[in-house]
A = this chain, B = another copy of it.
Amino acid sequence: MKPVTLKQIAEHLNISVTTVSKALKDYSDVSPKTKALVKELAKTLNYKPNAFAVNLRTKESKTIGLIIPVIVHHFFSNVIRGIISQAEKKGYLVIILQSNESYELEKKQIDLLMSQRVDGILISLANGTANFNHLNDVLAQDKPLVMFDKIAKIVKCSKVIIDDRKAAYMATKHLIDTGCKRIAHFRGALLPQNSIDRFLGYKKALLDNNMPYDPSLVYICQCDDMSFEEGKKNAQQLLKDHNDVDGIFINTDLVAIGALTEFNKQGVKVPEDISIVGFSNWFMSSVISPTLTTINQPGFEMGKVAFKQLYKEMKRIKKNKPVVYKEIVLETALVKRESTKK
Contact = CB atoms under 8 A, between A and B. Distances in A.
Interface of A: 1, 3, 48-53, 55-56, 59, 61, 63, 71-74, 77-78, 80-81, 84-85, 88, 93-98, 112, 114-117, 141-142, 228, 257-258, 261, 264, 283-284, 287-289
Given A93-B95, A94-B96, A48 B287 contact: no
A72 B72 CA distance: 8
A52 B49 contact: no
A229 to B, nearest CB: 10
Nearest to A84: B98
A90 to B, nearest CB: 13
A173 to B, nearest CB: 29
A93 B81 contact: no
A96 B84 contact: yes
A52 B63 contact: no
Could you say which of A3, A93, A95 has the most chain B C-beta atoms within 10 Å of its C-beta? A93
B284 A116 contact: no
B51 A59 contact: no
A10 B197 CA distance: 51
A261 B288 CA distance: 8
Contacts of A63: 95, 116
Contacts of A284: 284
B93 A71 contact: no
Given A55-B52, A116-B93, A77 B72 contact: yes
A166 B80 CA distance: 34
A48 to B, nearest CB: 4
Nearest to A225: B283
A72 B61 contact: no
Contact of A61 (B52, B81, B283): B52
